[in-house]
Amino acid sequence: MRWWTSITNGSYDMELYINTYGSYIRKKDEMFEVSVEGKRQKLAPNKISSIVISNAATISTDAIQLAMEHNIDIVFLDQYGDPYGRIWFPKIGSTVTIRRRQLEMLQNEQGLSFIKERIALKIMNQYRLLKKLISKRSIPDGKYAGSLERMWESAQNVMNAEGSLKDMAPSFMGWEGNAGKNYYAVLADLLPEAYRFQGRSSRPAKDAFNLFLNYGYGMLYSKVERALIIAGLDPYIGLLHSDNYNKKSFVFDFIEPYRIMVDEPVFYIFSRHKFKPEFLQPAHNGVLLTTLGKKFLAPILLEHFDSIIRHHNKNRKRVDAIQADAHAFANALVGKRKDYLDASENTRLQNFLAKKEDSDPQEEPC
């Protein structure tokens, strides 16, 4: 749980998420005191994994110190849901060996294979979600067969590509983009007519669905960045996104297969008619989330992030699966394991590429 007004069972490893104007967090009696809309509550530091602050909320310097003493990172989100600042506890740092291996990936086969897998996994998860949604609806046979086939072909093109990562980067971007266009076109068509959209848009979003996606991706971006740093990986050493100066490019490389963690709950918000017009406000050439919209969306996404899946032979929260993958990847870089992919995920990928129907679309994607 993460909304301080909802914390009642004393569970551990919760994320404190504050996005109400005028709210504040301060230290009192070695505890965090959180004030939201005039109500106060104290929270023990050992029950909090991270603090996320959005809108005009404040945190005192003594609360920041308390967070650092207990290895709690603090994230600040902008109006789009993207992290614009972060306070890290000083005990985390990557090893020189891991960073050196990351740099070497720019020129070797390992880097090429990694990017191939990340893009193919993303397309597979998108494909599987569409199959899952289609299977639950009365849709004429073959209506979306062409779009699904083009997505599969894009994944095949990615996995069969040969050449250097630098030379193949534009092609990878093109195949990934083609799969995405087909994916979002089908996803939009499966929505109730009032919520259908025309492709992806961001900063600002042109419609409510993209607005929810963008804010969710921003929240997910923060999770992935944290996982990489804890695993000792450098978020700035990107491979496919290596040209983004002063950007955490490797986060963009690593995040792709996990975007489905936002897509699925956002789709259900709209397909079940839970969206309300007061969740958004007009902005220049687009729309933005209101405070009420953030209050509605954030708990739904965070609850989905915390749902349990089977990953690396353990029952884990979805968000913890990201951390497990980051550690596995770092260990693979330094030779402590052969492959960073979860065995079942690798099997699903191979089945997808081979078009084996024993890969059940009802099974939860990451």
Q: What is the CATH number of the domain that holds 29?
A: 3.100.10.20
* Confidence label for 271 from pLDDT (cuts 50, 70 and 90): very high
Count of alpha carbons within 13 Å of 262, Cβ hemisphere only? 25
Final residue of a domain: which of 26, 45, 77? Answer: 77
Residues 17 and 133 in one domain: no
* Confidence label for 366 from pLDDT (cuts 50, 70 and 90): low
Residue 142 inside a domain? The answer is yes
| Residue 126 confidence (pLDDT) | 98
Q: Could you tell me what percent of the chain has a pLDDT over 90?
A: 61
- Flag the least confident range among 5-19, 92-106, 237-251: 5-19
| Residue 139 confidence (pLDDT) | 93
pLDDT mean over 160-179: 95
Nearest to 106 by CA among 249, 207, 284, 266: 249
- Flag the least confident range among 43-57, 156-170, 273-287: 43-57
Residues 50 and 133 in one domain: no
Kindly give the interhelix angle for 165-190 and 109-135, rounded to the nearest 10 degrees: 10
Query: In the predicted model, what is the mean pLDDT of the chain?
Result: 87
Q: Is the pLDDT of residue 263 over 90?
A: yes
- Interior/surface letters 13-22, b for 16+ CB within 10 angstroms, e for the rest: ebbbbbbbee
d(CA 186, CA 353): 20
Residues 122 and 72 in one domain: no
Residues 54 and 177 in one domain: no
Residues 266 and 302 in one domain: yes
Residues 35 and 115 in one domain: no
d(CA 321, CA 315): 9
Final residue of a domain: which of 42, 77, 112? Answer: 77
| Residue 358 confidence (pLDDT) | 45
How big, in percent rounded to 5, are the helix, strand and coil portions of the chain?
A: 50, 15, 35
Q: Is the pLDDT of residue 41 over 70?
A: yes
d(CA 328, CA 213): 28
For residue 24, give its domain range: 4-77
Q: Is the pLDDT of residue 235 over 70?
A: yes
Rounded to two decimals, the pTM is 0.81
Give the model confidence (pLDDT) of 302-321 as tens digits. 999 999 999 888 899 999 99
CB atoms near residue 356 (< 10 Å): 11
Q: Cβ contacts of residue 325 below 8 Å, gap of 6+? A: 227, 340, 341, 342
| Residue 262 confidence (pLDDT) | 98
Residue 101 inside a domain? The answer is yes
Q: Cβ contacts of residue 152 below 8 Å, gap of 6+? A: 123, 127, 352, 355
| Residue 14 confidence (pLDDT) | 62
Give the model confidence (pLDDT) of 185-229 as tens digits. 999 999 999 999 999 998 889 999 999 999 999 999 989 998 898
SS3 282: strand
Domain count across the chain: 2
Residues 118 and 173 in one domain: yes
Indicate the burial class of 312 (C-beta count within 10 angstroms; 0-12, 13-18, 19 or more): middle
Residues 234 and 333 in one domain: yes
Residue 285, both tokens: 């050439």
| Residue 7 confidence (pLDDT) | 34
The one-letter code for the residue type at 27 is K
Beta-bridge partners for 39: 36
Q: Could you tell me what percent of the chain has a pLDDT over 70?
A: 89
* Confidence label for 120 from pLDDT (cuts 50, 70 and 90): very high
Q: Cβ contacts of residue 240 below 8 Å, gap of 6+? A: 115, 118, 119, 165, 169, 172, 173, 252, 253
Q: Is the pLDDT of residue 115 over 70?
A: yes
d(CA 39, CA 223): 28
Q: Cβ contacts of residue 93 below 8 Å, gap of 6+? A: 232
Give the model confidence (pLDDT) of 54-113 as tens digits. 767 889 999 999 988 887 878 888 777 677 887 876 655 556 788 899 999 999 999 999
Q: Cβ contacts of residue 284 below 8 Å, gap of 6+? A: 204
pLDDT mean over 146-155: 98
| Residue 345 confidence (pLDDT) | 92
Residue 360 inside a domain? The answer is no
d(CA 51, CA 64): 10
Residue 358 inside a domain? The answer is no
